[in-house]
Amino acid sequence: PLVTTKDMFKKAYEGGYAIGAFNVNNMEIVQGITEAAKEVNAPLILQVSSGARKYANHTYLMKLVEAAIIETGLPICLHLDHGDTFELCKSCIDGGFTSVMIDGSHHSFKENMKLTKQVVDYAHDKGVVVEAELGKLAGIEDAVNVSEKDAAFTDPDEVEEFVKTTGVDSLAIAIGTSHGAFKFKGEPKLRFDILEEISKRLPQFPIVLHGASSVIPEYVEMINKFGGDMPGAQGVPEDMLRKAASMAVCKINIDSDLRLALTGTIRKYFAENPSHFDPRQYLSPARAAIKDLVKKKIVNVLGCDNKA
């Protein structure tokens, strides 16, 4: 069934694991992710950015996810990733999503609260849950491009007032992750002390980690070997994600790793089969790579296998 994250997050918090939130843009991505989750019996969040909605169209994505629910029988949450306006959130709520993110992190604290509360009031009326964000991640957040110098860690002193005033269901925080395939120049470092402090202020409250791809070296190497050019790509080490999942983090967002697996596999396929031009030939191994990656994430990193 199509579900909210309420139950998923409660169990994840208590069980010391996290649910994977994977970005979807087309049929092969939906299939790869959901087939993996089915094989390891994992609850799942599929998320759609405004860019994905522009690319594939709301109804197509909705129907692909409905098809995946019929095929797998899994509890799946359909979530708007980085909604930036009330209107966009409303459109997704009215259109059948069970969860939305209102990302007011580029506004002032007061404006962020006001916008978040407006979305929460509308969403809760319709049984939809809401994620908000405090603090700024470096990198590209859909419409919002935050440069490294403007990035800011979440201030633990702000979280209680924010959550109480808005009534939001989960909170994305900034502790050193960023979007995309180039997350750290030197040694990866996350501020687990800030996460710890936030969870003290918000007991039992689910925290969300964006920018959590590991930028799997195997796929970066594959891309670079077969004509790509991504020097210095680096992500969040898996042991850090395991640590976050064992703490208050209940949702871990992954998009870049899917893109890298898809692109690496297709580049390799074309290099090895230069005469092929049937999309089913190169999209089959690409879909299989996504499935393999998601299965490994669920079992080795998130720990949500057999929790559906």
Annotated binding-site ranges for Zn(2+): 82, 103, 133, 179, 210
Nearer to ligand 13P, 55 or 71 (CB): 55
Q: Which residue has the tokens 């997050």?
A: 9
Is 198 within 8 Å of 156 (Cβ atoms)?
A: yes
Site string for ligand G3H, 227-256 (x = CB under 6 A): ----------------------------x-
The reply to whether 183 sits near Zn ion by the rule CB under 5 A is: no
Radius of gyration of the chain, Cα coordinates, nearest whole angstrom = 18
Distance CA 210, CA 81 (A): 10
**Min. distance of Cβ 252 from Na ion in angstroms?**
9
**From candidates 23, 99, 166, 177, binder to ligand G3H by CB under 6 A:** 23
The reply to whether 260 sits near ligand G3H by the rule CB under 6 A is: no
The reply to whether 180 sits near ligand 13P by the rule CB under 6 A is: yes
Nearer to ligand 13P, 209 or 222 (CB): 209
**From candidates 233, 255, 268, 290, binder to ligand 13P by CB under 6 A:** 255
Q: What length does the chain have?
A: 308
Catalytic residue among 7, 81, 157, 257: 81
What is the phi-psi region of residue 139: left when phi exceeds 0, alpha when psi lies from -120 to 50, beta otherwise?
Answer: left
Is 84 within 8 Å of 144 (Cβ atoms)?
A: yes
For helices 256-272 and 279-296, angle between their N-to-C axes, nearest 10 degrees: 140
**Min. distance of Cβ 50 from ligand G3H in angstroms?**
7
Determine how β-strand 144-146 pairs with β-strand 139-141.
antiparallel
The reply to whether 38 sits near Zn ion by the rule CB under 5 A is: no
153 CA to centre of own chain: 19
CA triple 262-263-265, angle to 5 deg: 70
The pair of structure tokens assigned to 221 is 């190497």
Distance CA 53, CA 96 (A): 13
**Min. distance of Cβ 27 from ligand G3H in angstroms?**
16
**Min. distance of Cβ 255 from ligand 13P in angstroms?**
4
State yes or no: is 81 an active-site residue: yes
Site string for Na ion, 239-268 (x = CB under 5 A): ------x---x-------------------
Which residues bind to ligand 13P, rule: CB under 6 A?
Answer: 23, 81-82, 179-180, 210-213, 253-257
Which residues bind to Na ion, rule: CB under 5 A?
Answer: 18, 245, 249
Give the catalytic positions in this structure: 81
